Homo-oligomer: A and B are copies of this chain.
């Protein structure tokens, strides 16, 4: 499974060296005070090589691959216990992820602080996170027996993901998340269960 030849191993190594050097330098001197040239030199590669490994640019140096977060999102919707609504399941997943982040390796708080205090990194992280919107919307649509491009599913997915950005930096982030998901849960249950699914008089 993980049988990588020397080639792929070296490739992964340089990529890791770049990511490590970048994170270290960013933490030491601050994101803006470090140029891509500095990072490349610290990793002992050329600038072009850096961009070969991180075509999305400087911000991408900080974020490792996602892979399983999207799977976790759709699984949370698909495999939720009976009687639990979709928003409730998503709220639960976010809660778990949050408590998992508190632990993790040391230096992780510094990492989070760097992102929180650096607008380009915040923005990039948000975009990465929102990239799962379509997959989540599809999962929700399947679950509710709605077309994959239903605006309601799309909106619920988008709002649920965006909620974490919305409560960012709050001291009462957890209860704020609760309140936002209460709004989504109310709205969603009203759209799926009873009377008109889409009808709405203004």
A12 at the interface (CB under 8 A from B): no
A167 closest partner in B (C-beta): B151
Chain-B contact segment, one of A32-40, A56-64, A154-162: A154-162
Interface of chain A, main secondary structure: helix
- Give 5 new A-B contacts, CB below 8 A, not counting A151-B179, A155-B166: A92-B202, A151-B180, A159-B159, A181-B200, A184-B187
**Interface bracket on A:** 35 or more
How many identical chains are in the complex?
Answer: 2
Residues 170 to 188 of chain A near chain B (Cβ within 8 Å): 170, 172, 175-188
Contact B183 A155 (CB under 8 A): yes
CB distance from A133 to the nearest CB of B (A): 9
* Contact residue among B158, B186, B198 (Cβ-Cβ distance under 8 Å from A191): B186
A88 in the interface (beta carbon within 8 A): yes
Q: B180, B184, B185, B198: which contacts A182 (Cβ < 8 A)? A: B198
Residue of B nearest to A189 (CB): B186
Q: Are B191 and A183 in contact (CB under 8 A)?
A: yes
CB of A114 closer than 8 Å to a CB of B: no
